[in-house]
Chain A
Amino acid sequence: MAAMPVVSVLSGSPVAAAERPEPPFFRDLNLDRVCAGVTAGREQYDLAPFFRTPLRDADAVQYRHEVLRDLEKQDTAGAVAGFAERMRAVRDRLAQARKLRYRYQKESWFLGAARGYCAAVRALADALGGAELASRGLIAFRDYLAGYAASPEFASLAGEAAEVASSLDGVTYCVNVRGPRVIVTRYEGEADFSADVAATFAKFARGAVKDYRAAFRTWPEMDHVQEWIADRVARLFPAEFAALDGFCARHGRFEDETIVAFDREIQFYLGYLDFIAPMKAAGLEFCYPRISAADKETDVCGAFDLALAAKLAPRFAEMVSNDFRLSGEERIIVVTGPNHGGKTTFARMAGQLHYLASLGYPVPAGSARLFLPDQVFTHFEREEDLATLRGKLADELARLRDVLAAATGGSLLVMNESFASTTLRDAAFIGERILGQMTELGLLGVYVTFIDELASATPACVSMVGTVNPEDPAERTYKIVRKPADGLAYAAAIARKYRLTYPQLKERLAS
């Protein structure tokens, strides 16, 4: 019965996600952290391949938006989460059954797995049956599931499992241990000793006292004494145990491929929704971006760095959001401003936004119109400890050359604080050339630099600047706004705060 899944909630045309290494830009954009956050606790689903496979056309993105909108509805989300939990238990029980060696134990674990599976399928079919679905993906899956749950094979699996389990639940037996001698009988209503003891001394009862109960570790395996007892219990209850044997002999592998695939793929969505849920609850906004693979018009309001938000949790109120826009010929945002003023965060945010959009996810912004890039590139300063500055600059330029060679007019390039290892004049010179090449390619770019002049290097460039609070110039706002570069404003402010301006220094040195 093993076969390719018939229906996929990730794509209208199901394909297996190939294993692939983490893209190099993940680390620069902190997407590795986002990926870790989204997949945390979901290791068993192996979601990373999905996270590393961006979509290339707008309809594929739309397909996922539809599923996500369905999943954002309370009843659908609850149904799917409940299903996932049941399926996890099924896998655990099957693994346990494989590990054990005593016959009745193996069989009992197997029976438990089968019952869990049937319950999972039924609960999901019921819940989805009553849910208002609009997505192509979930509607197709619901139809498939309904057919499966109504099939005679499934009905016989579920019916038998329930019957066998219920008769085993009715088994209660007694063991009397006197020295090495053990006698196993049916339970016949003997009185509970602890209750009688408590009753005798009840008149002394007063508030809470210490709990003297020993905590016993439990593990799945039986020791040989337990097996000997179980053998005798089986003789005391022959019909119940024969039914168990029969069930396991008749039902071998019971899971359906398409349902198993759904269980994995839906986690790609749930992981992200769980990841952003606390942020949404705290008032941070997410939206489904308007996506185009052709039009580079860009308009984003209230966007923030998702990795930073996750790190700040739960102090989400401290998150600062930013807007940016590219229209007409504009392609490259050149960001200047105070150190630690949020420039790098802004650049990462812009990169994350495009990549998350290409996975079909809602993006961390109030509203967004985005271009779907064919590839994402980053060029962040590397930490490598090269022998000379010259070596470091050479290395940087070599990497950048490779990037520009691989990039197309449909790519996104995020650059951060490059060429800091050379003189201002050299850096300005190189920066102008790079911006020229980027402009020529026509790609989308975010270019973080400390060189004001670059802000207007080419007509494709848009200048954005980190701002300071006019009331307290030393306070950083992390707001990046569209305006001409004015790098000196902050330097003067921070100098005043530390009384290091010219008049201040004169006065202090004079006294």
Chain B
Amino acid sequence: MKARLMYADRDFDPGAALPVNEPDLAADLELGTLLDVMAGGDKFLFGIARRGLHSGLTDPAEIIYRQRVLTDCVAQPDVVRALYDLAVGAVDADRHLFGFLFRDSPDTILARSRQVMALYVTSLRRLADLGAEHAADFASQGFTRFFAMLAGELTSDYFDEMESRLAELELKRGTLMSARLGTGAKGTGYVLRRHPPVRGWRDRLPGRNRDAYSFTIPDRDEAGARALSELTSRAVNETANSLAQSADHIKGFFQVLCAELGFYLGCLNLRGRLLAEGLPVCYPVPAALGTQRLHADGLYDASLALTLDGPVTGNDVAADGRRLIIVTGANQGGKSTFLRSAGQAQLMLQAGMFAPARELTGSACSGLFTHYKREEDAAMERGKLDEELDRMSLIADWIRPDGLLLCNESFASTNEREGSQLAREIIRALTEAGIRIVFVTHLYDLAEGIRARGDDRALFLRAQRENDGVRTYRLLPGVPLPTSYGEDLYQEAFGADREATLL
């Protein structure tokens, strides 16, 4: 019994480790805003959304599998919500019973597990009913398999078997155990046994068909009663464990179902908000690892769009076959925004989600990394470069061929010549290793040096400025220019003094 709504062949594990650089990605790509919208204030859903966003699927077939399930969810939001609520209810069912204590005896564990199991059986019945009612409305491979599984496994015969097993575990005919003689002739290897089916009254007369010797613990023999109860505890131990673990397994099934449906509910939440803002979303076309595809129309920064009042500029990018994109141009001209949108789209694509664009085709990457200039440690210039190199060294530890590295003003903490030299060496080594890089920089020496080398696998984009100095936040192909636009920013900040400054 597996939900399999996230992967065709395995469970979604919300507890699995996030990428080592997840905190960097979250900060650099403003992922918190997206995740908050997906979670809608639910802490559990936030964790699910985050893990899901970092799925890092690389097989286009796996990506399409999720896109199709998501399409079903978009079409049948009420049924998906009902399934989710049912799963949440089942997971929470055992909260009404006392939790297991550290020193619980096997008898206590057995009794409690029987109660929990009864609740799970009820939930399973409702799940089977929901499936029977709505299966026909779903088309994706994921949901079709899921509903077929419910119908095949949760038959009425199976419900009968579960219920009779639970009844027998009340041990009304006594705790029957077998044992062998262990060290020192002490009983060992206690195994709880099922009573043979009840036979005719003749067979049950003592001495009729088997030797039996009995005794009774006297009423006032408390030590004897304790000793006897310890003996039955030993016998019940394995069975109690078996039942408690089975209950855990069923709970695990509902937990995974919760998590998997929760991810899609998160997607529905985010999609709803973006559409409400009038922004386009699309199912991106995934390309396999190593194909170096990146082609987008209207690619925008979803986080910015969710926090900004007013329209957001999307970019068109035609970077198929490029292993290096160098972005130069005006300060606050949309370079960082573009970098964020590229990173978000990459994660969403590899999570099987929709993408923040009108259209998007992109290659999967083996791992997404960001190397941004950090603002902290302003006190020590030398220390900053150390810190930058240290982080780059860590990335070099983690990143593999077909990885994607987003650099934002890397190595700006030292002088241009030194920074450019460092960056050139690193870029050259990484791209030759099959890693794609998007590098935002105002290091003219760096950008121009790469342009001058005439590598047709490099694409140069430039943040634009209209002639009146108003920035459009749009990036267009363009070679680096020797000047930046600090002057503009100055004018924006000190507008009143503009004329004076120019004179």
Q: Which positions in A face B, CB cutoff 8 Å?
A: 96, 100, 104-105, 107-109, 112, 168-169, 171-178, 180-188, 190-198, 200-201, 203-207, 209-214, 216, 220, 222-226, 228-230, 232-233, 235-236
In the bound complex, how far is the Cα of B109 from the Cα of A209, in angstroms? 15
State whether A181 and B239 are in contact (beta carbons under 8 Å apart), knowing that A198-B246, A233-B181 are contacts in the complex: no
Q: A177-B175, A200-B165, A230-B185 are in contact. List 17 more A-B contacts (CB 8 A).
A: A104-B185, A107-B185, A108-B183, A171-B180, A173-B179, A177-B228, A180-B219, A181-B216, A186-B211, A192-B192, A193-B193, A194-B238, A197-B242, A201-B249, A206-B2, A206-B249, A220-B183
Q: Which residues of chain A come closer than 8 Å to B272, judged between CB atoms?
A: none
- By a beta-carbon cutoff of 8 Å, the part of chain B in contact with chain A is 1-2, 11, 100, 104-106, 109, 153, 161-162, 165, 169, 173-181, 183-187, 191-196, 210-219, 223-225, 227-228, 230-235, 237-246, 248-250, 252-253, 256
**Most A C-beta atoms less than 10 A away, residue of B173, B191, B230, B242:** B242
Partner of A214, one of B153, B214, B218, B237: B237
Chain A residue nearest in CB terms to B252? A206
Contact A185 B174 (CB under 8 A): no
- Residues of chain A within 8 A (CB-CB) of B230 are 216
Q: Which residues of the partner chain A approach B184 to less than 8 Å between Cβ atoms?
A: 96, 100, 105, 108-109, 112, 220, 222
Which of B162, B185, B230 neighbours the largest number of chain A CB atoms within 10 Å of its CB?
A: B185
Q: Please state if A212 and B241 are interface contacts (CB–CB under 8 Å).
A: yes
Please determine whether A209 and B245 come into contact, CB atoms closer than 8 angstroms: yes
Q: Is the CB of B213 within 8 A of A194?
A: no
Give the complex CA separation of A210 and B223 in angstroms: 32
Instruction: Kindly list chain B residues whose C-beta atoms are within 8 Å of the C-beta of A235.
Output: 213
B180–A172 contact, CB under 8 A? yes
In the complex, are the beta carbons of A197 and B185 less than 8 A apart? Answer: no
Note all chain B residues with C-beta closer than 8 A to A224. Answer: 223-224, 227
Known: A178-B174, A225-B227. A209 touches B215 (CB 8 A): no
* Measured CA separation A182–B175 after assembly (Å): 10
A505 CA / B252 CA spacing, docked (Å)? 74
Report Cα–Cα, A105/B184, bound state, in Å.
5
What's the minimum C-beta distance from B296 to chain A, rounded to whole angstroms? 39
Is the beta-carbon distance between B210 and A185 smaller than 8 angstroms?
yes
Q: How far is the CB of B384 from chain A (nearest CB, A)?
A: 32
Q: Which of B195, B214, B218 has the most CB of A within 10 A?
A: B214
Task: Identify which of B106, B179, B250 gathers the most chain A CB atoms within 10 Å of its CB.
Answer: B179
User: Are A191 and B178 closer than 8 Å at their CB atoms?
Assistant: no
Minimum CB–CB distance for A97 against chain B, Å: 8
Q: Which residues of A contact B231 (CB under 8 A)?
A: 175, 177, 225-226
Is the pair A180, B1 in contact by a Cβ cutoff of 8 Å?
Answer: no
CB-based contact B1/A204 at 8 Å: yes
Q: In the assembled complex, which residues on chain A have CB atoms less than 8 Å from the CB atom of B194?
A: 190-193, 196
Interchain CB contact under 8 A, A168 and B211? no
B441 to chain A, nearest CB (A): 45
A-B contact list, 27 entries, CB within 8 Å:
A96-B184, A100-B184, A109-B184, A112-B183, A172-B179, A174-B177, A177-B176, A181-B174, A181-B214, A181-B216, A185-B210, A185-B211, A185-B212, A186-B210, A190-B176, A190-B193, A193-B169, A194-B239, A200-B162, A204-B1, A205-B249, A210-B245, A212-B240, A214-B105, A216-B233, A223-B224, A223-B227
Among all A-B residue pairs, the 6 with the closest Cβ atoms = A178-B174, A201-B246, A190-B193, A232-B213, A108-B185, A225-B227
The smallest beta-carbon distance between A222 and chain B, in angstroms, is 6
Query: Which residues on the A side are within 8 Å of B256 (C-beta)?
Result: 206
Q: Is the CB of B228 within 8 A of A190?
A: no
Question: How many Å from the CB of A3 to the closest CB on chain B?
Answer: 31
Known: A200-B165, A220-B186, A230-B185. A176 touches B174 (CB 8 A): yes
User: Would you give the shortest CB distance from A13 to chain B, in whole angstroms?
Assistant: 42
Q: How far is the CB of B322 from chain A (nearest CB, A)?
A: 42
Chain A positions within 8 Å of B232 at CB level: 177
- State whether A105 touches B179 (Cβ < 8 A): no
| A-side contacts of B100, CB under 8 Å | 212
In contact, A192 and B215 (Cβ under 8 angstroms): no
Instruction: Using A109-B184, A204-B1 as known contacts, say yes or no to A180 and B192 having CB atoms under 8 A apart.
Output: no
Q: State the CA gap A490–B82 with chains docked (Å).
A: 84
Asked whether, in the complex, the Cβ of B213 is within 8 Å of the Cβ of A184, the reply is yes
B165 touches A168 (CB 8 A): no
Q: Residues of A contacting B233 with CB < 8 Å? A: 214, 216
Q: Which of B217, B225, B246 touches A204 (beta carbons < 8 Å)?
A: B246
Write out the residue numbers on chain A whose beta carbons fall within 8 Å of the beta carbon of B169: 193, 197
**Are A184 and B214 neighbours in the complex by a CB distance under 8 Å?**
yes
**Cβ of B245 to closest chain A Cβ, rounded Å:** 5
Bound complex: CA A224 to CA B218 (Å):
12
